[in-house]
Structure 1
Amino acid sequence: MSPNGARPVRAHASVDNLRTYLLAAARRDPDRPAVIQAAADGGLETVTYGELERRVDRLVDALDALGLDVGDRVILESDTNADAVATLLACATLGLPFTPTSPEVPDERLLTIIDSAEPALHIQSDHGQRTGIPETVGTARFGPGGLTVERAPAPRVRRRRVVTPIDTAYITFTSGTTGRPKGVVMSHRGVIAFLRGAEAARLVTAEDRVANTSPLQFDFALFDIGLALGHGATLVPVPRARLNWPRRFLSYLRDAGVTQVDGVPSVWRPVLRHESDLLAEMGQEGVLSRITFSGEDFPLDELRRLQELLPKARFTNGYGATETMAASITEVPNPLPPGTERLSIGYAVAGAEMMLLGSDGSPVDEPGTIGEIYLRSPSLFSGYWRDPEATRAVVLPDPLHPGSGQVVFKTGDLAHMGPEGELYFRGRVDSQVQIRGNRVELGEVERRIGQFAGVTGAVAMVLPREDGDPLLHAFVTCAPAGPAPDTREVLAFCRAALPAYMVPHGLSVVNEFPVTVNGKVDRTALAAHVAS
């Protein structure tokens, strides 16, 4: 506070701020489309960069009037749309770290996040239906007309005047080993460092229209927003309801003139099963020029089929963790060369470096030898929210230059090096399980089962048994028109290539794998399938 008790002037954004970086196109070409989205009348509406900036400024004025200080947290609950983007950019302008969440998040999980983050304000869209926000938290709604405050946040004391690059841009909460969501704190500098490094991959041009298929709470959605707006391109959020209907999904892409689709690999599975002909038509048109995927392994049979339907498209494999936004962006040959068994995750984005270390901490230089990935990167997260112990476990002194004060990120991911120094992902350190004293990598079991004729997908996991001996169980999906695979034949197929302790004890055929709101396989739901 100033000596006379008046609050300081509004904190202003530094050069390296999400707002200034992502709205640079508003100054260069304000009439360029920033967002194309579903309109209330069922059609499409376009929000230009100039209009997006005006919406940001209206929200900045409204948020500033609430007296929040730099560092005060805001929960932003919404599907991805122009107003949600404007709201997060308004928060960035004022130095208010936002935590993106989705309307699909269960009440209990949201309340756990609120308990951890202690936000000053919860904001949802005009159409949001969330209730039960604790009275200690202010509530508001946003829309095209700006911000409507329902319950003002508790009075704050403003002590800050400038939003610096090292201030927190956002906090995303991911699943944690303790059963409570774990908050990943990302600074403005970290996010922008990654986005600038990604520019060298030339994924997007200003003429592209980038379809976002991930929920706002998933860091892949923030990647999409940053990638599109950072290049002066157009973001095209796909309505969540459209993703569940392959024909509606593809029709939306076509109507919006989408040139690039970003998403987890499983977003394509329903399309491949039910609308391959329509996708093939779009492939012949050549409008879809790039498919970018990340977040999980892309089953190679599904990837090959997708490439057959989109022969003119370029494919990109993104790899990385929430703690660094991502680490590498690698071009995937279309078509995949015969005999390809694994996709390369290539090299780190410009300005970063991945290295492999063995269990003894020494560098792994021999091609084919598995080590853990450690990442040097300017986009490293600030730490886990209120969990310095967990932060110290993964942010370590650079093992090659321990006296420099430089730190690296211990990813927990395993990889081996190819002949040109490129890396190949080999699973998680913590996905290794012990079966009768033997170490088992679940990904290897899944890959073997996935090679069985008629199997279109496989998930292996360890289930508890009453006698305490872990049970290795597999779940598979199969081609819709084909017969269900015979359990005995699948297990015999596994025995032909795997040690006895890596052969599943049981097999379940499911119509499709349940997925979380982030589009990844829901292993908890699969385990419940066996228990029921």
Structure 2
Amino acid sequence: MHEFLLERGRSNPGGPAVVEFSQGGEPVVTSYRQLEDRMGEYAAVLDGLGLDVGDRVVLETDTSGPAIALFLACSSLGLVFVPVSPEVPDARLASIVESARPALHLQADAGTRTGLPEGVGTGRFGPGGLGIERPPAPRVRRRRAVQSTDTAYMIFTSGTTGRPKGVVMSHRGVIAFYRSLLAAAAVAPDSRVATTSPFQFDFSLLDIGLAFGSGAAVVPVPRAVLTWPRRFLRFLEESGATHVDGVPSVWRPVLAHEAETLGRLTGLRGILYSGEVFPPAELRRLQELQPRLRIVNCFGSTESIACSFTDVPNPLPASVEELPIACAGSGAEIVLVDEDGGIVTEPGRAGEIHLYSPALFTGYWDAPRATRAALVPDPVTPQSGQVVFRSGDLGSWDENGRLFYRGRSDSLVKIRGNRVELGEVERRLLEHPAVRASAVLALPQGRTGRELALHAFVVPHSAGDFEERALRSFLKEALPEYMVPHQVTVLGSLPVTTNGKTDRAALGRTVAGARPQAA
């Protein structure tokens, strides 16, 4: 992975690789040569710890030049980096650490995390270097050479068991994805790709691969800037960003409050979005304000990072109410499978998306049953021994062979581009001593009804003892902000179907005009 990401930059070592700003507002540019030098310095420190190929290293950081150099250093030694956010609650980090059993936890110089378990080494990194505060427990080094089939990184997403689920990606898999990405959406070497996604979200790795694979620069957008449309646009202008990658919700406040300012930006060339539906009306407004903008719809799952890239027509016709997704990226293919295992080819009939791709994940960390459920025998030729990814996404073909997304077949939804297992939120609700029963739905909100928000339904042991504020505080101790329900409804009991299961359709009807949906 590290060799692939640095290859293009070596032809122009003095060119910018990462563009950031100091706290004083001064631009800080890291060249490809400087990035590789810093990677080497970090790798020397890590190598001195006696870590083995495959050992896990938790990187708690936002995207930055030092963070990129550090994960490249891990890659060069065969260490598996596990990205997490500095904002992740202590309880959730503890769950990730318990599952991944890392050798080392590293945070940026300004990090404040404490209380890591004994045996887990700790350290801090930044422009001044990598310092180890507590060495890891003694390791046995059995290997030294990194193979393409070795694990490059592991990203923890929301899991159905109530515990974060580790998606394991190999060097070979991520490189295959990068090649597919660059075949579909490469940018010019003089481009600057603004990345808006948190470091622990695999979309940030897409942004880095798009930039570095094109010999361009990546521009990490500070998290604090994203919540202020005017500051966000000023940052894009001052950084010289030419491309912006992120979830559609990044643009919603901009279009609502700073449309004229967006229209005055002269350097934008392209937008790549993923993670949720981008309403056609908002896409048309973007095109009105930036007529020469190339907009690419990226679709897929963490298990393959993404699997398709579709250019949005420019201009987008007024008659278009729904955008298709491409069949699959270079070297990949999608088939739809019905409940009986048959291949779906008829227009308009829904089937579950199964992905053939060299960029598939290796499996879920320490979860063989979940891995077997997701990596299944080739539905066309099961005798071959090949496995494909059973995504849980539903799709249907139209008469012209275009593929349209039709929601989820399970309880996994996407909130502001982040994957959320409704069961994990429900389990956390049940851990509160005042809650006797719970259910969580993803329901439409806003004027268009296209954006989803979590709605919790709870049955307290005693209505008099229940306080919503206390419940929210309890949830925030273990869940990231996007997994905390937007609204809570207190009920005397949960409605059930004739077979005794929670009647989610009935719950949805209790919210005026809302219907349960998956994203």
Q: Does 1:163 align with 2:123?
A: no
Moved more, 116-125 or 26-35: 26-35
Aligned match of 2:32: 49
User: Match for 1:349 among 329, 332, 344?
Assistant: 329
Q: What is the TM-score when the length of structure 2 is the normalising length?
A: 0.82
Aligned match of 2:381: 401
What's the offset of the Cα at 1:158?
0.7
- Which amino acid letter does the alignment assign opposite residue 186 of structure 2? L
CA contact (8 A) 2:459 2:490 kept: no
CA distance in 1: counterparts of 2:358 and 2:400, whole angstroms: 24
CA contact (8 A) 1:394 1:409 kept: yes
Q: Secondary structure at the match of 1:324?
A: coil
Q: Does 1:72 align with 2:55?
A: yes
User: Match for 2:247 among 264, 276, 282?
Assistant: 264
User: Match for 1:338 among 298, 318, 321?
Assistant: 318
CA distance in 2: counterparts of 1:462 and 1:209, whole angstroms: 38
CA contact (8 A) 1:165 1:187 kept: yes
User: Match for 2:347 among 341, 357, 367?
Assistant: 367
What's the offset of the Cα at 1:170?
0.3
- Which amino acid letter does the alignment assign opposite residue 165 of structure 1? S
Moved more, 198-207 or 212-221: 198-207
- Which amino acid letter does the alignment assign opposite residue 175 of structure 1? S
Q: Does 1:129 align with 2:112?
A: yes
CA distance in 2: counterparts of 1:232 and 1:324, whole angstroms: 23
CA distance in 2: counterparts of 1:261 and 1:69, whole angstroms: 37
CA distance in 1: counterparts of 2:407 and 2:242, whole angstroms: 31
Deviations 1:132-176 (A, max 9, x none): 111220001111122101001111111102100000000000000
CA distance in 2: counterparts of 1:128 and 1:402, whole angstroms: 49
Aligned match of 2:299: 319
Aligned match of 1:296: 276
Q: Secondary structure at the match of 2:288?
A: helix
Distance 1:215 1:324, change over 3 A: same
Cα RMSD of the aligned pairs, angstroms, is 2.2
What's the offset of the Cα at 1:207?
1.7
Distance 1:458 1:263, change over 3 A: closer
Deviations 1:73-96 (A, max 9, x none): 000011101000000000000000
Moved more, 331-340 or 57-66: 331-340
Aligned match of 1:510: none
Distance 1:465 1:129, change over 3 A: closer
Q: How many residues align?
A: 446
What's the offset of the Cα at 1:462?
7.0
Q: Does 1:25 align with 2:8?
A: yes
Deviations 1:436-466 (A, max 9, x none): xxxxxx99x84xx87xxx5575547775475
Q: Does 1:150 align with 2:133?
A: yes
CA contact (8 A) 1:26 1:53 kept: no
Deviations 1:291-341 (A, max 9, x none): 110011112332222222222101110000000111101101122212212
Q: Does 1:107 align with 2:87?
A: no
Moved more, 312-321 or 522-531: 522-531
CA contact (8 A) 2:457 2:489 kept: no
Aligned match of 2:179: 196
Q: Secondary structure at the match of 1:69?
A: coil
User: Match for 1:525 among 485, 488, 501?
Assistant: 485
Identity, in percent, stands at: 55
Q: Which runs of 5+ in 2 are unaligned?
A: 414-440, 461-475, 492-519
Q: Which runs of 5+ in 1 are unaligned?
A: 1-17, 434-441, 468-515
Q: What is the TM-score when the length of structure 1 is the normalising length?
A: 0.80
Aligned match of 1:496: none
Distance 1:156 1:464, change over 3 A: same
Q: What is the correspondence of 1:419-458 to structure 2 with a 5 Å cutoff?
A: 419-431=399-411, 446=444, 455=448, 458=451
CA distance in 1: counterparts of 2:51 and 2:411, whole angstroms: 42
Moved more, 123-132 or 89-98: 123-132
Deviations 1:344-367 (A, max 9, x none): 111211001011111111111112
CA contact (8 A) 2:360 2:389 kept: yes
- Which amino acid letter does the alignment assign opposite residue 262 of structure 1? D
Q: Does 1:390 align with 2:370?
A: yes
CA distance in 2: counterparts of 1:353 and 1:33, whole angstroms: 35
Q: Secondary structure at the match of 2:488?
A: helix
CA contact (8 A) 1:25 1:49 kept: no
CA distance in 2: counterparts of 1:125 and 1:310, whole angstroms: 37
